[in-house]
Each structure stands twice: as structure tokens, then as C-alpha cells.
């Protein structure tokens, strides 16, 4: 039977890397729910609804209907890429700038409603691995396997920093750490479905685990 796997946790806990591997191994669909919040944020930046000085929440909410988010599988890379109104934005949404606004956009109830509904649709037939902040607590409360990934803020910032440097982005470790800590705070304090571990989720602290160890551990949990 194809099950539903919900993986939640703080920013840059390495959820997506292991989630993709598990999905590929099981022949499941992987959905990066954070990419959807990032897509809405990117749209808001493009349309001038958000910048460092202002945030026009009403303007963004009024235009939510015009936002079409889709995932298309890329055979070359072996995972799905995110499209905003038919434009491939997979690379554009991973910048520190998008990261600096995304948690504020994710606080908006109307944004969450829209994305949660689409996420439920994407996973309605099972055989899905979805990662995010509220997958086990809101999106798939009945998921057969729920995981909650944790790691120290420093470990997470180091990982995110290396990713950004590898992409060629000009960032400092301090700025990345600050962003990770800010998002942790906003994500766990917002009034609408704040980030918490679902009661029935299994916690995995991967600070000192290799990717292979995480993969093996999760596969073991899938098979029990
Ligand atoms: O997973 P990622 O770090 O790409 O997510 C970016 C942001 O999107 C998070 O910091 C959080 O504010 C928001 N998010 C959310 N609910 C989810 C997934 C992401 O609020 N299910």
C-alpha cells in the first residue's frame, strides 16, 4: 500500500534532501511545500507587494487567484521543479532575499488556506512524501508516517550557507544564521498553524547523522 509521509521541522534541517531520496526510492511523489510559499513570495516581490520598506498584504491577498503554482518533473535532475504561472522559478526562489520575506508571507491566513488546499489535492492518492512546517499537523493529519527533523541552528545555517555559496550567491554565514533564527521564530510563533511537532510524529535530530544514516532510519520506519 502506498502511504503518506509527512516531514516537518525548522528551516534547513535537511528535510528536502532526504525526502527526495526516499520518494525516488519508493517511487513516490515528492512535494516541497516550502517551495510553494517561496513561489508566492517571489510573486509578491515581482509585483511590488513586498520589499524591505513595505508589505502590501491586502494587495497580495487580492491577487492570490492569479497565482498558479505547479510542479513539473525534470528528468535531467530527477526531481520536480516549481513553476509560477508557467515560468520555471526553481532557482529564483532559493535566494536569501526570498528567504528573508517568506515567513512573513506564510503568516497570511489566505495564503495558507490556498496552499494547504492545493497540498491536500497533490497528496490525495497517497504515495507522497511532503515536507514543510505543518504537514503532519494540518495538511495530512492522518499520514501513516510523520517525522519531525531537528538540528542545531548553527548546523542548519552552515548547511544553508554552503548551498548558497555553491550556487554562487554572495552571502555571509552570519546573515544566513540570522535568517534561519528569524524564520524559526516567526514560523513557531505565528497565530495560524505555528510550527510544532505533531503528537504522533517521530523526532529525528540529524545534527550528527549522515544523509545515508537518515535515509536508512526513515526507510526502516516506512517498513515497520
Ligand atoms: O522549507 P523552506 O525553508 O523552503 O520554507 C520556507 C518558508 O516557508 C518557511 O520558513 C516557512 O515560513 C514557510 N512554510 C510554511 N509552511 C510550510 C512550508 C513552508 O509556513 N508547510
DSSP characters for 184-198? HHHHHH-SSS-----
pLDDT, residue 114, reads: 98
pLDDT, residue 89, reads: 97
| Closest ligand 1 atom number to CA of residue 186 | 12
pLDDT digits (tens, 9 = 90+) for 28-42: 999 999 999 999 999
H/E stretch holding 125 reads none
Q: Is 88 inside a domain boundary?
A: yes
What is the percent of the chain with per-residue pLDDT over 90, rounded to a whole number? 93
Helix, strand, coil percent content, the chain, rounded in steps of 5: 50, 20, 30
Checking if the pLDDT of 79 tops 90, the result is: no
Q: Is 79 inside a domain boundary?
A: yes
Its pTM stands at 0.95
User: With a 6 A CB cut-off, is 37 part of the ligand 1 pocket?
Assistant: yes
- Residue 112 makes CB contacts below 8 A (sequence gap 6+) with 106, 134, 192, 193
How many alpha carbons lie under 13 Å from residue 204 in its C-beta half-sphere?
A: 24
pLDDT digits (tens, 9 = 90+) for 141-188: 999 999 999 999 999 999 999 999 998 999 999 999 999 999 999 999
The CA 9 to ligand 1 mean position distance, Å, reads 9
Q: Is 17 inside a domain boundary?
A: yes
The CA 32 to ligand 1 mean position distance, Å, reads 9
User: With a 6 A CB cut-off, is 102 part of the ligand 1 pocket?
Assistant: yes
Q: Is 220 inside a domain boundary?
A: no
Q: Is 153 inside a domain boundary?
A: yes
| Closest ligand 1 atom number to CA of residue 103 | 12
pLDDT, residue 1, reads: 86
Q: Is 223 inside a domain boundary?
A: no
DSSP secondary-structure letter at 50?
Answer: B
User: With a 6 A CB cut-off, is 11 part of the ligand 1 pocket?
Assistant: yes
CATH number, domain of 114, equals: 3.40.50.300
Check the CA dihedral 34-35-39-42 and report its sign. Answer: positive
Which amino acid residue places its CA nearest to atom 11 of ligand 1? 103
Q: Is 197 inside a domain boundary?
A: yes
DSSP secondary-structure letter at 112?
Answer: H
The tally of domains found in the chain comes to 1
Domain that holds residue 144: 4-215
Q: Is 222 inside a domain boundary?
A: no
pLDDT, residue 60, reads: 98
Amino acid at each position: 500500500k502506498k502511504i503518506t509521509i509527512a516531514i516537518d521541522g525548522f528551516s534547513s534541517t535537511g528535510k528536502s534532501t532526504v525526502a527526495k531520496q526516499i520518494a525516488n526510492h519508493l517511487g513516490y511523489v515528492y512535494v516541497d511545500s516550502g517551495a510553494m510559499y517561496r513561489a508566492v513570495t517571489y510573486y509578491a516581490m515581482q509585483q511590488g507587494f513586498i520589499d524591505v520598506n513595505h508589505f502590501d498584504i491586502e494587495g497580495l491577498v487580492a491577487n492570490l487567484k492569479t497565482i498558479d503554482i505547479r510542479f513539473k518533473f525534470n528528468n535531467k535532475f530527477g526531481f520536480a521543479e516549481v513553476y509560477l504561472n508557467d515560468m520555471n522559478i526553481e532557482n529564483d526562489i532559493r535566494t536569501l532575499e526570498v528567504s528573508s520575506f517568506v515567513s512573513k508571507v506564510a503568516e497570511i491566513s489566505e495564503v495558507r488556506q490556498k496552499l494547504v488546499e492545493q497540498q491536500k489535492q497533490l497528496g490525495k492518492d497517497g504515495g507522497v512524501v511532503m515536507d514543510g512546517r505543518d504537514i503532519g499537523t494540518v495538511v495530512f493529519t492522518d499520514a501513516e508516517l510523520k517525522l519531525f527533523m531537528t538540528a542545531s541552528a548553527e548546523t542548519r545555517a552552515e548547511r544553508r550557507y554552503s548551498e548558497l555559496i555553491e550556487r554562487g550567491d554572495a552571502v555571509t554565514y552570519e546573515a544566513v544564521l540570522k535568517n534561519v533564527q528569524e524564520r524559526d521564530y516567526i514560523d513557531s510563533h505565528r497565530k495560524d498553524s505555528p510550527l510544532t511537532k505533531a503528537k504522533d510524529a517521530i523526532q529525528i535530530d540529524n545534527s550528527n547523522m549522515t544523509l545515508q544514516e537518515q535515509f536508512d532510519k526513515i526507510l526502516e520506519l516506512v517498513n515497520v
